[in-house]
Amino acid sequence: MPSVVVENISKSFTAEKKKVLALGDISFDVAKGALFGVIGPDGAGKTTLFRILTTLILADKGKVEIDGFDVVKEYKDIRKRIGYMPGKFSLYQDLTVEENLEFFATIFNTTIKENYSLIKEIYQQIEPFKDRRAGKLSGGMKQKLALSCALIHRPSILFLDEPTTGVDAVSRKEFWHMLKQLQKEGITILVSTPYMDEAALCDTVALIQNGKFLSIDTPEGTVSLFKKPLWAVKSDNMYKLQQDLKQFEGMASIYPFGEYYHLSLNRDSILQEDISAYLTSKVHQGLEINPIKAGIEDVFMELMKSTDD
Amino acid sequence: MIELNTHMITADKLTKQFGDFTAVDQISFDVSKGEIFGFLGANGAGKTTAMRMLCGLSLPTSGKASVNGFDVNTETEKIKRSIGYMSQKFSLYEDLTVRENMRFYGGIYGMTIPQIKLKTQYILEHLHLEKEKDTLVGSLPLGWKQKLSFSVAIFHDPSIVFLDEPTGGVDPITRREFWEMIYEAAHKGTTIFVTTHYMDEAEYCNRVCIMVDGRIEAMDTPANLKKQYESAHMEDVFLKLARKATRIAD
Amino acid sequence: MKQFIAFVKKEFYHIWRDKQTLLILFGMPIAQIMIFGFALTNEVKNAKIAILNPSKDIASATLTQRIDASRYFDVLKNLQSQSQIEAAFQEGKIKLAVIFPQDFNASLLHNNTATIQFIADASDPNIATTLTSYASAIVQDYQEEMKGANTLPYTIQTDTRMLYNPQLKGAYNFVPGVMAMILLLVCTLMTSIAIVREKERGTMEILLASPLQPIVVILAKAIPYLVLSMVNIASILLLSVFVLELPIEGSLPLLIGESILFTITSLSLGLLISSITASQQVAMMISLVGMFLPTLMFSGFMFPIESMPVPLQVISNIVPAKWYFYIVKAVMIKGLGIGAIWKETLILSGMTVFLLGLSIKKYKIRLA
């Protein structure tokens, strides 16, 4: 039995007398013990989805089962077995690290001791500061404390809504490492993030935009959705390069990626020499043109454009 | 175009202490006119504090710095008038319309009504927002809001604009359109001082400065930094440097 | 049960660690009682009065002398005619005028009865009542002495006229009034804020996604504020008894019991507000505008209900503080027992049951 079964859920909100669709007809399953990533920008519907799954709000229509329990009728059973970390840092800022952990342990009818082995590796990193008020912790430490609190009752499914937003690259790396460790304990993990580069670390990735899934697949499968030829291009004058590439015959899209531009073409017939010749004619120096494999972000933008049209 | 001999920002041993905690520790650097200067660092490395001093919002404990030729110790009001500022959090008034926001910010910087009208028209056309000019900013999608608030930050044609994590949470296409706007502004001679958590965005900068524990640990072009730290991506450079941090709390 | 205790403990941490709010919570009742109390007593000492005594006989002279000798009064001038009274008040120099009839002593001796008139400036009703009651007391004393010396049943009637505010309210209204206000403030305002804060900070999301029963959350939020209110009630009562020397005439357990009842009413109101609001500011606005103002206006504390237009009198009946205010006044000042206030207690209980039921029913098991 999958840990999460979602069938055709939709949800809209009313804002300024207009109906805004937050989620439109979404369906997916998450296998037991899987690490499932929901990736998309702010306002795509990630938080709404997570709140429906954690029984916090009701969908307008559709069906959701968590560990076989219905989110509407059997919400009490679900609340006993899930761990949830909301997007905003949601612990008591005026309570110390230890007080927070103890409080959440008691709320879930357990003690810190009982499940210490599960959180040990995470909690040990903040234990030296256990008498510090949670509000006085750094971003990375708050995140570790929040995760410890969400895990203290050894949930069978863990929901993490944007745990790495606003966190620096070092803490993000550490955080994903922790998630991988937790997965080994048999916990099913659903995590949402706006950072495309985190997709590679999930078993399954759902790309979400405007309340709809653009794709659900393994990271490799997702990447293979990009069918067009893709080139990384670089020159000494990047600003001019972009202007010139936009005029290039056969250009499908051109986006900056780090120090390169990713140029996708709408024809397979265009060769490296053709691009090179065109750019040389535009007087570019230090040209570098390489064929590359698409990444998640390339796919996301491609799918985003195709649904917009 | 970058004018290497014209320094828009200079910092000389700029330091800020809070009690016995040194948030920013003797940082020195110059930013040239038209340069896109990336300011990176882990949470709590001192980025925000440094940026606040340069914007004239906080006085240094010691050291000197000048922004657009004005001293951060004595001429903070002049600094504020000559810079633009945008952050992920503070952007626009959600309960005012697009046009009202521009009218308001133009007014703050002492622009005349005809100037404001002209500029408003230009931005609306440029962002393809003509239809939305009387829409409340609160009901615009996040990506549009961020682009709009950048336009508003450079509404009064400041010579320097400070951007504090301007693209957080924005979708990848809009994020790139946003950087196009940054490039365009820099091309016209505006100096850009930007912080970000996206390491690929660090590559878009002319020069990058990485702060660790309140000090500048590295500062160079992305290409040179990658060479120096034998890394393929800026992310690896950043991880190598930021892992040296000993400071834990913010 | 463990969950409940852990929750209550957490609430006390929140309250204890927010020193500013704590100071306001405990300081305010003390400050209010002191301000109301001392503003009153300071004025009353050496109040300037005028005396019109056309009879100039033994009895009136003795009374005049006694009034002047008391620490409450200071005779500013002796008036010569009725026409001077109005002028003296208008100058604003005097608070009270004592008017003897033409033949005071003779009337007392022949008819066994005589009338003294007190005219008070009741633009400040509390002072006016206090002054007239002090003056009446002096007259009463004198009368008792006369009775003792003489077997004849003399009676001196005091005829009090209140200028500017004929519908005068009692002087010690403010103690029950402050009690009602403090309970409302602590229970309604603080409880609603305490719950809404969890919503605002996002912790409510975690609590809702946990197996915690809603009733546990509600009770655990309510208990600390119930305790806090009791501390406040105790400090108000102690201050009014020992500092203001206002004795509690009726039964103390009854007073405390009624206060607990009203506390629960206020808590239910707070819970109700918290379930319909999403931000601390809105919760505060509703508590202040929706609860505080009606309490000030319709409880009878500031403005006499009897002199309001009928529709407002009807509205005042749905303000719980009105009933509590009435009960406290009856028990504390008039010394009445449960027999005299059972109706009001029943109404207040009904309101409490209704509000508590409604707020538990309205408490959301999900977000929005």
- Summarised one tens digit per residue, pLDDT across range C61-92 is 888 888 888 777 888 778 788 888 888 887 77
Q: Any CB–CB contact under 8 A between A104 and chain C?
A: yes
Closest residue in chain A to residue C8, using alpha carbons only? A103
Which pLDDT value is given to residue C360?
82
**Domains detected in chain A:** 4-223 (3.40.50.300), 230-293 (3.30.70.2070)
Homologous superfamily, domain B3-91+159-242? P-loop containing nucleotide triphosphate hydrolases (3.40.50.300)
Using CA atoms, how far residue C196 sits from B68, C9, C22, C272, in Å, is 46, 18, 18, 11
Q: Which residues 219-248 of A are in CB contact (within 8 Å) with B?
A: 238-239, 242
Long-range (24+ apart) CB contacts under 8 A made by B175-183 are B175/B201, B176/A255, B176/A256, B177/B143, B177/B147, B178/B143, B178/B146, B178/B147, B178/B150, B179/A256, B179/B204, B180/A242, B180/A256, B181/B147, B181/B150, B181/B151, B182/B36, B182/B150, B183/A238, B183/A239, B183/A242, B183/B36
CA dist., res. B222 & res. B9, Å (int): 20
Which of chain B's residues have a Cβ under 8 Å away from the Cβ of A173? 239
Residue among A57, A89, A106 minimizing CB distance to C2: A106
Question: What are the residue ranges spanned by the domains of chain B?
Answer: 3-91+159-242
Low-confidence winner among A50-59, C101-110, C151-160 (lowest mean pLDDT): C151-160
Q: If you average pLDDT over residues C329-344, what whole number do you get?
A: 87
- Higher-confidence residue: B60 or C175? B60
Using CA atoms, how far residue C247 sits from B196, B244, C180, C240, in Å, is 68, 71, 18, 7
CA dist., res. A112 & res. A126, Å (int): 14
Round the average pLDDT of chain C to a whole number and report it.
82
Which pLDDT value is given to residue C42?
46
CB C264 within 8 A of CB C188: no
Q: If you average pLDDT over residues C48-53, what whole number do you get?
A: 85
| Amino acid at site A102 | E
Angle made by CA atoms A288, A293, A299, in degrees to the nearest 5:
115
Which pLDDT value is given to residue C161?
55
Architecture of domain C45-163: 3-Layer(aba) Sandwich (3.40)
DSSP string of A95-145, one letter each residue: SBHHHHHHHHHHHTT--TTTTHHHHHHHHTTTGGGTTSBGGGS-HHHHHHH
Q: Which chains touch B (3 or more CB pairs under 8 A)?
A: A
Angle made by CA atoms A147, A151, A155, in degrees to the nearest 5:
140
The rounded radius of gyration (Å) of the Cα atoms in chain A is 23
Q: Which residues of chain A have pLDDT under 70?
A: 16, 308-309
- Higher-confidence residue: C349 or C110? C349
Other Cβ atoms within 10 Å of A225 Cβ, number: 17
Contact A242 B222 (CB under 8 A): no
Interface mutation target, options B21, B43, B233, chain A, most CBs of A under 10 Å: B43
Structure-token match 């005396």, residue found: C51
CA dist., res. C22 & res. C41, Å (int): 29
Q: Any CB–CB contact under 8 A between B236 and chain A?
A: no
Residue among A16, A138, A194 minimizing CB distance to B169: A194
Which pLDDT value is given to residue C152?
58
Which pLDDT value is given to residue C168?
36
CB B222 within 8 A of CB B234: yes
Which pLDDT value is given to residue C153?
59
Which pLDDT value is given to residue A19?
84
Which of chain B's residues have a Cβ under 8 Å away from the Cβ of A194? 168-170
CB A43 within 8 A of CB A23: no
- Higher-confidence residue: C98 or C108? C98
Using CA atoms, how far residue B58 sits from B61, B77, C9, in Å, is 9, 12, 40
Tell me: the pLDDT tens digits for C8-29? 999 999 999 988 888 888 888 8
Which of chain A's residues have a Cβ under 8 Å away from the Cβ of C368? 57
Q: Any CB–CB contact under 8 A between B224 and chain A?
A: no
Write out the residues of chain C at the interface with chain A, using a CB-CB cutoff of 8 A.
2-3, 6-7, 10, 13-14, 17-18, 201-203, 205-212, 365-368
At residue C40 the predicted structure's pLDDT band, cuts being 50, 70 and 90, is low
CA dihedral C54, C57, C61, C64 (to 10 degrees): -40
Touch test B–C: 3 Cβ pairs or more under 8 Å: no
Question: What are the residue ranges spanned by the domains of chain C?
Answer: 2-39+171-362, 45-163
CB C259 within 8 A of CB C179: yes
CA dist., res. A122 & res. B135, Å (int): 47
CA dihedral C191, C195, C196, C200 (to 10 degrees): 140
Q: Which residues of chain B have pLDDT under 50?
A: 249-250
CA dist., res. A155 & res. A153, Å (int): 6
Residue among B139, B173, B235 minimizing CB distance to A16: B139
ipTM above 0.90, yes or no: no
| CB burial of residue C361 (10 Å; 0-12, 13-18, 19+) | exposed
Using CA atoms, how far residue C93 sits from C65, C67, C87, C96, in Å, is 20, 17, 10, 9
CA dist., res. A165 & res. A192, Å (int): 10
- State whether residue B236 is helix, strand or coil: helix
Tell me: the pLDDT tens digits for B166-223? 888 888 888 888 998 998 899 899 999 999 888 888 988 999 999 999 999 999 999 9
Q: Number of A to C CB contacts under 8 A, please give it.
A: 79
- β-pairing, A35-39 vs C73-79, is unpaired
Quick one: how far is CA A288 from the chain centroid?
32
Residue among A79, A89, A95 minimizing CB distance to C210: A79
| Amino acid at site B30 | D
CB A231 within 8 A of CB A255: no
Which of chain C's residues have a Cβ under 8 Å away from the Cβ of A54? 205, 209
Which pLDDT value is given to residue C148?
66
Kindly state the percentage of chain A with pLDDT values over 90.
68
